[in-house]
Structures are given as C-alpha cells and as structure tokens.
Amino acid sequence: MKFIPSFTIVLFLVFYGCAPSTKTADEIKTSKKIRGVSFVGSPERVDITAFADLYNNRVNYTSLMPFAFADNGAGELIWPIEGQWWGETAEGIQVCIDLAKEKRIQSMIKPQIWLRGGTFVGKLDQPNDSAWVSFEKGYTKFILTFAKLSEKNRLPLFCIGTEVDQWVRKRPEYWRELIRQVREVYKGDLIYAANWGSERSLPIWKDLNYIGVDMYAPVSNEQTPSMDTLNLSWKKWKGYFKNVSDSIGKEIIFTEWGYRSDDYCGRTPWSDQLEGKVNLEAQANCYKALIDNCYPEPWFMGGFVWKWFPDLRQAQMEGDHFTPQFKPAAKELQRIGK
C-alpha cells in the first residue's frame, strides 16, 4: 500500500469529505423535524409503490391509523371487526411499517375510534361509571396491542388516543393508568392527539413526552387566502402555541393538519363539507403559511398532513378534498428543511 502523508489526508477530508454545510444550524434542525402524512388505511394490501411516492415527496414519517368502533353512549368498544380494511389491522400496519422502513421512512401508530353514524368522537360518552369501566377495558386492550407492536418495531413515537378530549377530562385517572401500562410494554415517546382548542384543558400532558394537536383552526375567511392574511393569522397562532408549550413545558407536534383544495379552505379547515369550486392555489397558500411560520419555531417538532392515499388512482380523484397528492401543495411539503 502506498504511503500517504498525514497532511494529505487532512487536506482531502477538509476539501472533500468534510466540506462545511451550506445550511444554517436552524435549517439543519428544521430538516430533522417530522415531515409526516396521515397514511389512509387501504382496503387491500399495499406494495412499495405507495412508499416510493412518499419518499419522492420527502416525507420522513407516516401516521398509521388502526380503527375501533363504538356506538356513542351505549355498548363496548368493537375491535377487531370482521371485514375490517386491511390497512387498519395489525397485520396491515406491520407490513406498512416494513415497507416504510425500506424507504427510510419512520412510522407512528395512531389508534382511533369511529363512532357509528359519523358522530364527532370528541362527544364520546357513557351513561355511568360501570359503562365506562367496561368500555375502557376494551380500549386498553386495543391500545396495548399497538403499543406492543410499536415496541416490537422500535418505533420512536406512539399515540395513545385521538380527539377523545371529553373522556380525558372526565376520567383522567383511567388515562394515567393507561399511560402507566403502556410504558410497561413500550419504551419510546408518547403523545396524545387533542382536538385544537383543547390543549390547555387536558390533565395528562405531564405524563406524556409531547403535546399533540390535530390543528384545524381557522386562518382566513378569503376565497383564496392571501399570504399577508395567512401570515398575520399565524402570528397570532404562533404566539398562542408558544405560550401553551412554555406553560406545559413540552414541545408540540401537529398530529394532524391540513386544508381542502377548494374555495375558502382556510375558513373551516376541520370540515369535510366543500365550500366552493376546486382551488389549488388556496390549499397551497395555506400549506406554505403553516410551513413557513411553524417549522422554524423551537416549540414545533413537525406534523402529519391529513391525508395521504396509498392508492394513487384514488388520490388523483380527490381534486377538491384534503390530500395534497398531485397538487401544488405537495411542492410545499417537499421544501421543508431544504
């Protein structure tokens, strides 16, 4: 082997192997934040194609969502059910975790409850303590199943619940015990996904690692929200969330966020009801404003866009709905941390 003087090695490393990054420290930190999507459970088995699409859009995290079902105010949690969509089962979620890892994409499991009839899950209630105890027994089994699956796959983040804020406020003792049981089987970080506006009223944040917010707050009443209007609105929301983060002492992750691609999409972002014609610019502007305003903030650790379809044909048919796929909004996602 030919001898290479040590100073030659040093010069080589300086000029070729260890060239200084052109990114600032803040840009590097931002690039490591969650650039996630809420990955819709598929009725049929998916393949690597869907995750290659995520990789091409610079997504680094998926939120995988198993569903259980309930009748509000009566009966027990129903899970699993016969004929449940493949992507919402433990088997399907395991396959999605494996496929995501092939594309260097991390996953968070985010179990959810669907109330029959489409009633908002935040209104979940039971008539008495006995009914709650029975219902909670089923929910604990549901959550522990996916906490164990998260630990098996060494997933860094697990969500213990989604938007059942009334239940959390009413029965905090149950939720603290659930968190204790989850921590016995899962060693990663824990989060809960609160509906926006409930952040200050939930009593379990100190027992978790992050504050989760499903962020659908209004940001503009304009048909096509202007950047000036959106930035002014986000100035208010940034101050609010910084205050929440500082007062609780935890960083915030938007466990869901998104906007429809229709007129007035910034007025009622939480709604599935369309307010006008297809408006791709309106959606893209709302994406840009959230990304520009939130991702540089120290209190913000990133978020999960609502929503992303594994079936690309279905995504192409969602012209006026939430997904950014095949729309200008996707280009806003791609530039996070660049």
Kindly give the confidence (pLDDT) of every residue in the chain, 338 residues in length, as a single tens digit, with 9 standing for 90 and above.
333 333 333 333 333 333 433 444 455 467 789 999 999 999 999 999 999 999 999 999 999 999 999 987 778 899 999 899 999 999 999 999 999 999 999 999 999 999 988 889 999 999 999 999 999 999 999 999 999 999 999 999 999 999 999 999 999 999 999 999 999 999 999 999 999 999 999 999 999 999 999 999 999 999 999 999 999 999 999 999 999 999 999 999 999 999 999 999 999 999 988 888 999 999 999 999 999 999 999 999 999 999 999 988 888 877 669 999 999 999 999 999 87
Q: How far apart are CA 259 and CA 66, in angstroms?
A: 23
Q: What are the tokens at 153?
A: 């796959």
Q: How far apart are CA 70 and CA 233, in angstroms?
A: 37
- Token look-up 């039971």 returns 126
| CA angle (273 as vertex; 220, 196 as ends), nearest 5 | 55
- Which CATH number describes the domain made up of 25-334? 3.20.20.80
Q: What is the model's pTM? A: 0.91
| Residue 335, C-beta contacts closer than 8 angstroms, at least 6 positions apart | 291
Instruction: Answer yes or no: are the C-beta atoms of 217 and 231 closer than 8 Å.
Output: no
Q: How far apart are CA 233 and CA 308, in angstroms?
A: 26
Q: How far apart are CA 217 and CA 195, in angstroms?
A: 10
Q: What are the tokens at 214?
A: 């499903």
Q: How far apart are CA 6 and CA 338, in angstroms?
A: 35
State phi, psi for 3 to the nearest 5 degrees. Answer: -75, 130
